[in-house]
Amino acid sequence: MTGADGTERSSPIIEAVGVSKSFGAVRALSEASFGAGAGEVHGLVGENGAGKSTLIKILSGVLRPDSGEIRVEGQRVELSSPQAAQALGIRTVFQELTLLPWMTVAENLLIRREPKGFGPLLRRREMSSRAEEMLASLGIENIDPLELVANLPLDQRQIVEIVRTVTREPKILFLDEPTSSLAMREVEWLFGLLNQMRGEGRCIVFTSHRWREVESVADRITIFRDGRHVETHAEIDEDHAVTLMTGRKVETMYPELPPADDEEVALEVRNLGGGSLSDISFSLHKGEILGVGGLEGQGQRDLFLALFGAGEKSEGDILIDGKPARIRNPNDAIRAKLGIALVPEDRKSEGLLLPMSVRDNLTLPVMKLFSAGGVIRSRREMRLVQQMVERLQIRLRGSEQAVATLSGGNQQKVLVGRWLLADSRILLLYDVTRGVDVATKHDIYELMLALISEGRSILFYSSDTEEVAHLSHRVLVMREGRINAELKGSEIDAESIVTAALREEDVPA
């Protein structure tokens, strides 16, 4: 079914017709249909759990559908394995990267198609020049082919993954959340690449939670909700799309921020330096959300890690409730006396124990609360866990469910819940909404307001500048490891943050 405006294209090159897929009792896709044509960039949007990733996995041969059929160029096909899909020219950049960390960029780019030399031997020396050409042909110069992937930051790993897939000349290319870890410039690069591929007559399907991105590059947009195809449009405005995605009207994306009138200082930082940081001073009040803005990679991450004791050795002073605090490691920070908690963007590697249950993940740092003589009193534990699940509206089947099976937004809530149980009073939220769907974002915003109303304080960084602008009482704008400007009250909007981020420092020395 195509959209109401009838953007009928040439027949689709890839099609899913009435596809259903269940995991146990959970129905991920029900009678879902989807189609995309050659020479088209097709945006696929929906909340987490709407079935986008499942659809992509089915169309890539990773999962088999329970029912329904798949057609490629009008022919019914069985995609029994990723290899079968690849043979038809289907290539996919999955959300979970498939890079080999302790191998070089060149080895990763050329795996299984290494240049052959004498007999069974591969020409390792030629690999780096071959990889160099591949990167250069796509306009990438800042990635060294001889570097280990493990040494690359997240965004560059994503780019390597994209390059590897794209250089295999796909007829049909799926990209699942390719931009969630990319900076603005890199997103532009990717979209330039997609535009070129469209010109070459390839079919590109991608998902993203950033509406402006989808709108700017997609020829058509398909909306999924609860495992079903809702609508496909060539033109659709954001409000309408959000309504279709969530099935309810979201009047305002951002909640009203109550004024912060508590003058009591919870956290004070004086002349913090070390690593990429230099001379950072600010104070965070009780019941306040202090935003941290600026272009990506200006030391925000190091600042958060330093305050959590997970960064490099730093100089300067940190005062909690007016008393100097020594934070040498995360354990110092978590301790109830200081009560500092970090919620990072990379949930998988920085905090959650994925194979363990929601209950374990929530209560791990606070076992003492309900233990007697080293033995856990499970009834009390269960009660606390239940309360937290309800309060945070974590969507799950049961508290014994493994965290790995939750959606990104719900994983994030588990992390926040853990620190609430630990009664942390200063929360460092670092890009917590990255890759999280609209409805869950909304939940997180509401949660932030609830937290400050209890007198807790939040230091808040987001790669989405709008978010920082709407949810902060004050904003510290960082540039090259320093605070370039501090914005207050009505001065704060996305534009002024970006302006301040770009401004060369003009503070008297």
Which of 120, 322, 374, 508: binder of another protein (CB under 8 A)?
Answer: 120
Residue 234 is classified by DSSP as S
**Residue 99 binds another protein, judged by CB under 8 A:** yes
Nearer to another protein, 74 or 102 (CB): 102
Neighbours of 8 (CB within 10 A): 9
CB of 462 to another protein, least distance (A): 23
Please give the residues from 129 up to 158 whose contact with another protein meets the rule CB under 8 A: 138-144, 146-148
Which of 82, 273, 274, 297: binder of another protein (CB under 8 A)?
Answer: 82
Contact between 457 and 287 (Cβ < 8 Å): yes
Q: Report the C-alpha gap between 23 and 12 in whole angstroms.
A: 28
Q: Please compute, for residue 22, the number of CA atoms within 13 A of its CA located in the half-sphere on the CB side.
A: 6
Pairing of the two strands 14-23 and 26-36? antiparallel
Q: Report the C-alpha gap between 395 and 436 in whole angstroms.
A: 14
**Residue 430 binds another protein, judged by CB under 8 A:** no
Nearer to another protein, 121 or 507 (CB): 121
Task: Give the residue from 450, 499, 485 showing the smallest Cα distance to 471.
Answer: 450
Nearer to another protein, 97 or 364 (CB): 97
Nearer to another protein, 80 or 195 (CB): 195
Contact between 303 and 312 (Cβ < 8 Å): no
Instruction: Describe the crossing of helices 438-453 and 238-246 by its angle, rounded to 10 degrees.
Output: 90
**Residue 265 binds another protein, judged by CB under 8 A:** no
H helices of 318-370, where? 330-334, 358-363
Binding footprint of another protein, residue count (CB under 8 A): 43
**Residue 189 binds another protein, judged by CB under 8 A:** yes
**Residue 107 binds another protein, judged by CB under 8 A:** yes
Which of 9, 27, 71, 124: binder of another protein (CB under 8 A)?
Answer: 124
Nearer to another protein, 60 or 399 (CB): 60
CB of 404 to another protein, least distance (A): 13
**Residue 437 binds another protein, judged by CB under 8 A:** no
Which of 64, 76, 185, 380: binder of another protein (CB under 8 A)?
Answer: 185
Which of 196, 271, 329, 378: binder of another protein (CB under 8 A)?
Answer: 196
Nearer to another protein, 27 or 198 (CB): 198
CB of 483 to another protein, least distance (A): 25
CB of 83 to another protein, least distance (A): 7
**Residue 94 binds another protein, judged by CB under 8 A:** yes
Please give the residues from 309 up to 338 whose contact with another protein meets the rule CB under 8 A: none
Nearer to another protein, 222 or 463 (CB): 463
Q: In the numeric block, which tokens belong to residue 387?
A: 């309360």
CB of 52 to another protein, least distance (A): 19
Contact between 137 and 144 (Cβ < 8 Å): no
**Residue 457 binds another protein, judged by CB under 8 A:** no
**Residue 404 binds another protein, judged by CB under 8 A:** no
**Residue 128 binds another protein, judged by CB under 8 A:** yes
Q: Which stretches does DSSP call E strand in 275-390?
A: 277-285, 289-293, 315-320, 323-325, 340-343, 371-372, 375-376
Please report, for residues 40, 162, 192, 205, 482, the alpha-carbon distance to residue 197 in angstroms, rounded to integers and kept in the order given. Answer: 9, 13, 9, 12, 40
Q: Please compute, for residue 130, the number of CA atoms within 13 A of its CA located in the half-sphere on the CB side.
A: 19
Nearer to another protein, 164 or 233 (CB): 164
Q: Give the contacts of 452 (CB within 8 A, at least 6 positions apart).
A: 258, 260, 287, 288, 289, 458
Q: Report the C-alpha gap between 236 and 41 in whole angstroms.
A: 15
Q: Report the C-alpha gap between 79 and 71 in whole angstroms.
A: 10
| Residue carrying structure tokens 């790993």 | 157
Instruction: Identify the three-state secondary structure at position 101.
Output: coil
Nearer to another protein, 1 or 121 (CB): 121
Neighbours of 53 (CB within 10 A): 23
Which of 23, 69, 87, 100: binder of another protein (CB under 8 A)?
Answer: 100
**Residue 97 binds another protein, judged by CB under 8 A:** yes
Q: In the numeric block, which tokens belong to residue 45?
A: 């949007």
The C-alpha angle 257, 262, 264, rounded to 5 degrees, equals 135
Q: Report the C-alpha gap between 320 and 331 in whole angstroms.
A: 15
Which of 121, 372, 375, 507: binder of another protein (CB under 8 A)?
Answer: 121
CB of 53 to another protein, least distance (A): 15
**Residue 83 binds another protein, judged by CB under 8 A:** yes
**Residue 101 binds another protein, judged by CB under 8 A:** yes
Nearer to another protein, 44 or 162 (CB): 162
CB of 216 to another protein, least distance (A): 13
**Residue 87 binds another protein, judged by CB under 8 A:** no
The C-alpha angle 174, 412, 432, rounded to 5 degrees, equals 80
Which of 5, 31, 117, 486: binder of another protein (CB under 8 A)?
Answer: 117
**Residue 159 binds another protein, judged by CB under 8 A:** yes
CB of 102 to another protein, least distance (A): 5
Task: Give the residue from 160, 131, 161, 130 showing the smallest Cα distance to 145.
Answer: 131
Contact between 316 and 273 (Cβ < 8 Å): yes
Q: By the criterion CB under 8 A, which residues form the site for another protein? A: 82-83, 86, 94, 96-104, 107, 111-112, 114, 117, 120-124, 128, 138-144, 146-148, 159, 185-186, 188-189, 192-193, 195-196
